[in-house]
Structure 1
Amino acid sequence: MTTPPLSPRWPARLLDVLRRLNRLVAIAIGAVLLACAALVLADVALRQVGASFGGTDEISGYVMALATSWGMGYALMELGHVRIDLIRGRLREGGRALFDLFALLVLAGTVSLIAVQGWPVLARSLANSSRANTVLETPLAWVQAPWLAGWVWFALVAWATFAAALALVWNRDFAAADAAIGTRGEEDLAQ
């Protein structure tokens, strides 16, 4: 008796929606990074005439933390995460798919752990009304909340991608699974 295949359409639809959403996130993060770069450039120019906004180093650090947490989902969908594929490359497509699923499972679990452990940090900052020990005295929750939301988003994207990839592998659609969660070789990056 053979196992009935799952609906072949929903994994592709889910992956397409995730790609589109993460591209929008990447565009928004890119705009924030450009605004931050303009702020730093303006501050450097002001320093030439003896003035300064002050705190641009702190603000740029916050922006980098936010860009990192929110950009990870985009990197996942674009196969931008680094993976050592020494063994994977020597296997047939079914074996490669299992390695890819295992790698994504470990990634999703790790990111979920980061997101879960990030909540107590934010909760403590909220409870204590914690502020940065800097000139700006930024309320830490203002930065930690969107930072944590980025990690939660990454975890959701990772688990949804895992579910879609698992369905693709279950249906033996190894080419689609490889396109969704495989690795990019040097030849792919050159194109």
Structure 2
Amino acid sequence: MVDHLYGALRRANRFVALVLGLALVLTVLFILTDVALRGFGRASLGGSDEISGYVMAAVASWGLACALIQRAHVRIDVIRLKLAQTGRAVMDIFAMVVTNAIVLLVAFQSWPVLSRTLTQGSRANTPLETPLWIPQGIWFAGWLWFAVTATALTLIALTYLVAGRREEMDAAIGIGTEVEL
């Protein structure tokens, strides 16, 4: 069951990464079109700076979970590499627990931002007057997804550790090599 959950989490994050990549490509095309139109003396599409900022916030919050599941987060492994397998496992679990705690805290603290926006009906102070609950909702959902991914990954790693499945645990939360990434 744990293996199925881990596989489903990897597949879901792979799908998220594809959607994020598509959003970035579409944003780049929008910006290029806007700049090209200005170069030809035509009216700007407008809002490319605002929209690209929203996309970057969404990509950052959602992309953190994708990076976590791919073991692409930066870790300093000078000490870890000198330890025996048990010591490396302890450090990996510690890193996941700390990461998970921080992500849960950030997700918890980001809710008041969205809540205040919803209560006040806030809009961007720009020509587009974007209802801010839209980009903030996507941003908050990304932090929530990161929290779900980190919590699930922590529980999966602990389950592997308790079951004595160190290789699977290392494959789930250990340090990724350049070849694997």
**Smaller-chain TM-score bracket:** over 0.9
Number of residue pairs matched by the alignment: 180
Match of 1:22 in 2: 13
Amino acid at match of 2:26: A
User: How many angstroms does 1:32 deviate by?
Assistant: 1.0
User: How many angstroms does 1:132 deviate by?
Assistant: 1.4
Higher RCO by CA contacts (8 Å cutoff, separation 6 or greater): 1
Q: Which runs of 5+ in 2 are unaligned?
A: none
Q: Distance in 2 between matches of 1:67 and 1:95?
A: 34
Match of 2:85 in 1: 93
**What secondary structure is seen at the aligned counterpart in 1 of 2:27?**
helix
Q: Which runs of 4+ in 1 moved over 6 A?
A: none
Match of 2:174 in 1: 182
Q: What percentage of aligned pairs have identical amino acids?
A: 49
Amino acid at match of 2:163: N
Q: Which runs of 5+ in 1 are unaligned?
A: 1-9
Q: Distance in 1 between matches of 2:124 and 2:78?
A: 44
User: How many angstroms does 1:73 deviate by?
Assistant: 1.1
CA RMSD of aligned residues (A): 1.3
Match of 2:152 among 157, 160, 166: 160
TM-score, normalisation: structure 2: 0.95
Q: Distance in 1 between matches of 2:174 and 2:135?
A: 33
Instruction: Determine whether 1:108 maps to 2:84.
Output: no
Q: Distance in 2 between matches of 1:155 and 1:124?
A: 21
Match of 1:13 among 4, 15, 24: 4
TM-score, normalisation: structure 1: 0.90
Q: Distance in 2 between matches of 1:159 and 1:94?
A: 22
Q: Distance in 2 between matches of 1:90 and 1:12?
A: 29
